[in-house]
């Protein structure tokens, strides 16, 4: 059973991630928010640090590239806190990735998304790729391209096609809102092998960023996470080697999205972790600002007997704890080989909604200080909205949860 204490083996990683947030990200956060699309050169130093942690085994999988789907032939270990409870319990790369991302996003979400070789496409590769593909792609930086102009949140309605031609697939279509699309070395592109079959024919392909068939159309100007580039691509007769199709190349009707859908089971807890980290930053900053004004929440007193600002802060804290625990559970289930699709969507839904509510609420509680650029609260409020949208909107997450609870298919409950 899940142990709610942070495993001791993750302590070095979390200290490093916390220091990164406080000493590197926050001091340059406003700089790269204003200098949209400028690459944060300070992040180049992080590659060596992350590689060093990974080589030493201390990281247990830092960032998105560390997440991986546990398989049934992995032997669960004792709890990471060092105590042997007598029950199988594996605290692995998914949990460590979620915990470390919570820390770095206390500093800046856009900068976290810009860390080299830690893209959401790396999590997709970890979720779906076979061992040979994982070895081949190694430590390369991978973005993920799912969204299209005409599909919105319905990933099953993807129109980008992949047609087999000898030893290659030929991809044609458009992709928008590709996080780190310009900076990444690889792009994991979702495409359909047969539009008539809908979701069952969706597959993901690893495309070299230098592929002449994939052209950068534009970089988006955004409300938030401006330190992270967001690209739009056009795929025109883009030829991809057949061995770069991730997972099973066969269309299996009974499998739904099959391997491609496993990507969301990995990435949604990561996005939930981003939202949890940003929520924590808002709460910590607001708590300090209110304390400076003589308002200190008391969790042992009834809310009605406290100042309204203190009562709201305590309510926000309760919502934060719910999001935090759901994110940990979804990651822990992946580490222990348990199906976590519903829990991943629960975590993403709760964390995304909470982040937006808390960020905007903290701006309000802090008045002029919250709204001005003298503090980071107004920036965090702008950053928060994307965490409720990408990797599936709030509405899509609730739909996934409802289907799992009711035992209905996507065709039965739309």
* 122 token code pair: 């790396």
| Coil, strand or helix at 296 | coil
The DSSP-derived string for 128-191 is: H--HHHHHHHTT--EEEE---TTTTT-GGG---EEEEETTEEEEEEEEEEEETTTT-SEEEEEE
φ and ψ at residue 109, rounded to 5 degrees? -70, -45
Report the relative pairing of strands 186-192 and 142-145 from DSSP bridges.
parallel
Q: Could you give the maximum distance between any two Cα atoms of the chain, in Å? A: 73
φ and ψ at residue 395, rounded to 5 degrees? -65, -40
Residues 6+ away with beta carbon under 8 Å from 269: 67, 94, 98, 327, 330, 331, 334, 340, 344, 347, 348
Catalytic site residue 391? yes
Distances, alpha carbon 403 to alpha carbons 76, 264, 412, in Å: 30, 16, 9
Report the relative pairing of strands 186-192 and 230-241 from DSSP bridges.
unpaired
Rounded Cα–Cα distance for residues 375 and 362 (Å): 12
Rounded Cα–Cα distance for residues 354 and 356 (Å): 6
The half-sphere exposure of 142 on its side-chain side, counting CA atoms within 13 A, is 30
Of the listed 174, 319, 343, 391, which one is catalytic?
Answer: 391
* 266 token code pair: 């990995």
Residue linked to tokens 């990444």: 184
Looking at residue 245, the DSSP 8-state letter turns out to be: B
Sign of CA dihedral 323, 324, 329, 330: positive
Looking at residue 72, the DSSP 8-state letter turns out to be: T
Cβ contact 223:385 at 8 Å:
yes
Residue-level length of the chain? 414
* 1 token code pair: 């059973």
**Which element (helix H / strand E) includes 231?**
strand 230-241
Q: How far apart are the first and last CA of the chain?
A: 34
Q: Annotated active-site positions, please?
A: 391
């Amino acid at each position: 059973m899940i142990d709610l204490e942070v495993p001791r083996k993750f302590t070095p990683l979390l200290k490093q991630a916390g220091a990164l947030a406080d000493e590197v990200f926050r001091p340059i956060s406003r700089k790269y928010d204003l200098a949209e699309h400028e690459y944060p050169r300070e992040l180049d130093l992080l590659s060596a640090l992350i590689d060093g942690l990974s080589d030493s085994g201390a990281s247990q999988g830092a960032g998105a590239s560390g997440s991986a789907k546990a398989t049934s032939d992995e032997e669960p270990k004792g709890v990471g806190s060092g105590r042997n409870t007598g029950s199988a319990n594996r605290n692995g790369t998914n949990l460590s990735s979620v915990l470390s991302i919570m820390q770095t996003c206390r500093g800046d979400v856009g900068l976290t998304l810009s860390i080299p070789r830690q893209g959401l496409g790396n999590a997709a590769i970890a979720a779906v790729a076979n061992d040979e593909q994982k070895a081949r792609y190694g430590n390369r930086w991978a973005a993920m391209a799912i969204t299209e102009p005409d599909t919105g949140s319905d990933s099953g309605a993807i129109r980008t096609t992949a047609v087999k031609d000898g030893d290659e697939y030929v991809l044609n279509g458009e992709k928008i809102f590709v996080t780190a699309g310009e900076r990444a070395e690889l792009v994991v592109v979702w495409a359909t092998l047969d539009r008539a079959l809908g979701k069952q024919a969706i597959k993901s392909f690893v495309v070299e960023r230098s592929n002449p068939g994939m052209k950068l159309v534009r970089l988006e100007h955004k409300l938030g996470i401006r330190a992270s580039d967001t690209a739009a691509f056009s795929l025109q007769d883009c030829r991809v080697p057949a061995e770069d199709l991730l997972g099973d190349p066969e269309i299996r009707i009974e499998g739904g999205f099959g391997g491609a859908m496993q990507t969301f089971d990995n990435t949604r807890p990561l996005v939930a972790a981003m939202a949890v980290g940003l929520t924590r930053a808002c709460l910590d900053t607001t708590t300090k600002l209110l304390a400076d004004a003589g308002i200190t929440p008391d969790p042992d007193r009834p809310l009605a007997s406290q100042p309204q600002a203190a009562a709201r802060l305590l309510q926000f804290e309760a919502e934060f704890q719910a999001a935090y625990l759901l994110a940990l559970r979804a990651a822990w289930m992946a580490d222990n080989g348990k199906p976590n699709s519903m829990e991943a969507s629960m975590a993403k839904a709760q964390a995304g909604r909470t982040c937006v509510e808390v960020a905007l609420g903290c701006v309000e509680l802090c008045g002029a200080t919250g709204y001005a650029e003298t503090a980071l609260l107004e920036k965090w409020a702008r950053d928060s909205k994307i965490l409720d949208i990408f990797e599936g909107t709030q509405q899509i997450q609730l739909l996934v949860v409802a289907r799992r609870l009711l035992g209905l298919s996507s065709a039965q409950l739309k």
